[in-house]
Structure 1
Amino acid sequence: MLSHNLKKIRQDKGLSQLKLSKLSGVAQSSISEIESGKSNPNISTLRKLASVLEISLDELLGKPKVV
């Protein structure tokens, strides 16, 4: 879920992996590994990515919204 969400949200915001990397301070190779499902990031990395993407951790992780 995370891998799909990160890639979709990044693309929806018009960001390349390289641009997201520069803005977040997370290595481009790490972003690539997360998006391909090869890596599970720590909470610090998730926070950096969510902050740059201007979304909550719940949105990034794909947790369903409670209505």
Structure 2
Amino acid sequence: MPGASVASATLDVARCKVRELERAAVTLYEDDMLENKNLLVWLNRLSDCLFMMARYADRELPPEMVTGTRRTS
């Protein structure tokens, strides 16, 4: 589910696309069609960065509106 604001939703969609690319790159790597394993690491870090940027974009919103946060019950 995309973020609570337009900015975080855009970043979440971008992260989804990077994760798709990461999965495709893993397949290429496993099939010996991609030599540089550092690309896999880089794509994973990019995904992490986009996640954190999306959460930061929602920093001013009430916690119940923000995606990617833990809910306490």
TM-score, structure 1 as length reference? 0.32
1 or 2 for the larger relative contact order (CA 8 Å, sep ≥6)?
2
| TM-score normalised according to structure 2 size | 0.31
Name which one, 1 or 2, has greater alpha-carbon Rg. Answer: 2
